């Protein structure tokens, strides 16, 4: 089966849907999403969207906070462009129906939260379910467009480039071009050739590379792995943000306890009841996430404790229930009344600050291919993302990319797709060895947590490199000779991204931001104020 469209969007989070909504104004759009249309990291975002909306705030302060948090690796031009786009992004979301929380008694003013690394209250939120509110509003707007088609339960396998053409021989200095993707229709077990003049990767992050994560099950790094295999540059993948406070409960499924809880006065305590963050940073609980996560990790390992505790029992009970209804309800369902009980928490893989390298318009090094959101490395986050800057970056870059893609489409009026072959099953047979999938996935997640987690060492990284090299070779061979399935695609991508994370971590000979190596414990500004870039063999 073959589909042709103007725009192919891979992913249905805030970035993908925002782009699709814009692009629908000047072309046909197909959205590919792995599960149902609302399943994305965006849907799980509790905190909000950082933007300069208060009178006592300024673009300069937001830029300064972001650059400081990024530990010298943010691109100042990118940060300035995204921050200045913030108020308009918020305005456009409100126009499509997003209901951000307003101050009590002041319906004309937003109730702006304060989160780690920010010097001012600037986080627009919808109680503690901002992501869900934004996702649902965008979906309603997108579904109202007759020229947008959403393919649920479809997973992209690989990007289509000229390497797929029969008898293709690449010319010197020839730029790689993307013409869409091969996509698996899970329900019908059929591979679709989805041809597009412009493709946007908005596939989210890769939290499922680790055993402990706040991400949903779909976050397997698909876009990142596909782009690298196709020949795109990737960068800064050593900077994995571990959210300091995921709920520690056997039935909690790494449920996120938002940064905003600490922003409203939550205190981190040890099992003994002692508060400890003042030992690590003058801003205590509101220090940047890398500082807080490392502090918790160190205290737990030193004492042999399994978790720390977040205390909000000193706050007004009515305020807690009103400000954090989702967190309060989830914890209560597990037997924890957070107005009276301490919340058990541990760090968990949350956000990947690196990704597919893009320019100021969201263009990757592959022609016709754009990227936005967590899959992209735009230069916004540097070595450590500030809380609630992620949704801001995703929606801002969706707009930048859509504007650029409009011009791209105009330049392709007389374009016709080359003769792209259908998905081939030649040489494929079913080995009936599917136990390898679950086993290898579990193994990768566990050794990535142990060897490439919050605190790293050269020895552990080298051990991880040896293991992932063997595993990725095994998985690749299995992929080549077995029918393509959802689980095999995800495992191949998890293994690919794990290898890229390890390679970046080994390459950086210092500690900076989210990357901490005990063999290089200091920051080295003389040699390492630069991105860690990996180039595919196809590039």
Alpha-carbon torsion (359, 196, 351, 485), positive or negative:
negative
Which letter does DSSP use for residue 40 in this model? S
| Catalytic-residue membership of 385 | no
CA distance 394 to 15: 5
Residues 86 and 62 sit within 8 Å (Cβ to Cβ): yes
State the DSSP string of 68-91.
HHTTT-S-HHHHHHHHHHHHHHHH
* DSSP three-state, residue 113: strand
**Among 482, 493, 34, which residue's Cα sits nearest to residue 226?**
493
Listed as own residue / partner, the contacts of 168-176 with beta carbons closer than 8 Å and 24 or more positions apart are 175/366, 175/367, 176/230, 176/231, 176/232, 176/365, 176/366, 176/367, 176/538, 176/539
Q: Please list, in sequence order, all residues whose beta carbon lies within 8 angstroms of the beta carbon of residue 41, skipping any fewer than 6 positions away.
A: 13, 131, 204, 205, 207, 215, 216, 219, 374
β-pair partners for 8: 30, 199
Catalytic annotation, pick one of 289, 363, 456, 467: 289
**283-320 b/e with 16+ CB inside 10 Å = b?**
ebbbbbbbbbbbbbbebbeeeeeebbbbbbeebeeeeb
Catalytic residues: 289
């Amino acid at each position: 089966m073959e589909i042709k469209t103007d725009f192919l969007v891979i992913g249905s989070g805030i970035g993908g849907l925002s782009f699709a909504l814009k692009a629908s104004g000047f072309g046909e759009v197909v959205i590919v999403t792995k599960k149902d249309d609302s399943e994305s990291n965006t849907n799980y975002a509790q905190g909000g969207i950082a933007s300069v909306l208060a009178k006592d705030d300024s673009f300069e302060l937001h830029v300064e906070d972001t650059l400081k948090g990024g530990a010298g690796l943010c691109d100042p031009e990118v940060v300035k462009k995204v921050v200045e786009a913030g108020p308009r992004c918020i305005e456009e979301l409100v126009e499509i129906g997003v209901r951000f929380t307003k101050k009590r008694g002041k319906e004309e003013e937003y109730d702006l939260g304060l989160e780690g690394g920010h010097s001012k209250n600037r986080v627009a939120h919808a109680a503690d379910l901002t992501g869900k509110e934004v996702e649902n509003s965008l979906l309603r707007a997108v579904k109202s467009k007759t020229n947008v088609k959403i393919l649920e339960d479809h997973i992209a396998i690989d990007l289509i480039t000229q390497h797929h053409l029969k008898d293709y021989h690449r010319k010197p200095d020839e730029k790689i071009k993307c013409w869409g993707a091969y996509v698996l229709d899970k329900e019908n077990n059929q591979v679709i050739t989805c041809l597009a003049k412009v493709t946007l990767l908005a596939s989210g992050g890769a939290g499922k590379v680790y055993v402990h994560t706040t991400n949903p099950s779909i976050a397997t790094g698909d876009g990142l792995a596909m782009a690298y295999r196709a020949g795109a540059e990737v960068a800064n993948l050593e900077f994995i943000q571990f959210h300091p406070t995921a709920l520690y409960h056997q039935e909690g499924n790494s449920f996120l306890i938002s940064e905003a809880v600490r922003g409203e006065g939550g205190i981190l305590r040890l099992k003994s009841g002692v508060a400890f963050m003042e030992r690590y940073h003058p801003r205590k609980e509101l220090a940047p996430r890398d500082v807080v996560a490392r502090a918790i990790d160190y205290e737990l390992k030193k004492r042999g404790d399994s978790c720390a505790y977040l205390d909000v029992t000193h706050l007004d009970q009515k305020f807690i229930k009103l400000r954090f209804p989702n967190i309060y309800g989830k914890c209560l369902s597990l037997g924890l009344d957070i107005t009276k009980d301490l919340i058990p928490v541990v760090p968990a893989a949350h956000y990947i600050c690196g990704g597919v390298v893009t320019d100021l318009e969201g263009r990757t090094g592959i022609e016709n291919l754009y990227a936005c959101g967590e899959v992209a490395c735009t230069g916004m986050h540097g070595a450590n993302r500030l809380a609630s800057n992620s949704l801001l970056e995703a929606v801002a870059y969706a707009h930048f990319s859509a504007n650029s893609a409009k011009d791209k489409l105009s330049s392709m009026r007389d374009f016709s797709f080359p003769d792209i072959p259908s998905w081939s099953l030649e040489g494929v047979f079913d080995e009936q060895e599917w136990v390898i999938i679950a086993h290898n996935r579990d193994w990768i997640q566990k050794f990535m947590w142990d060897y490439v987690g919050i605190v790293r060492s050269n020895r552990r990284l080298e051990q991880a490199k040896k293991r992932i090299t063997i595993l990725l070779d095994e998985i690749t061979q299995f992929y080549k000779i077995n029918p393509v399935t959802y689980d095999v695609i995800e495992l191949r991508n998890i293994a690919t991204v794990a290898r890229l994370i390890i390679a970046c971590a080994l390459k950086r000979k210092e500690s900076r931001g989210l990357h901490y190596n005990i063999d290089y414990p200091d920051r080295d500004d003389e040699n390492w104020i630069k991105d860690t870039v990996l180039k595919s063999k196809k590039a």
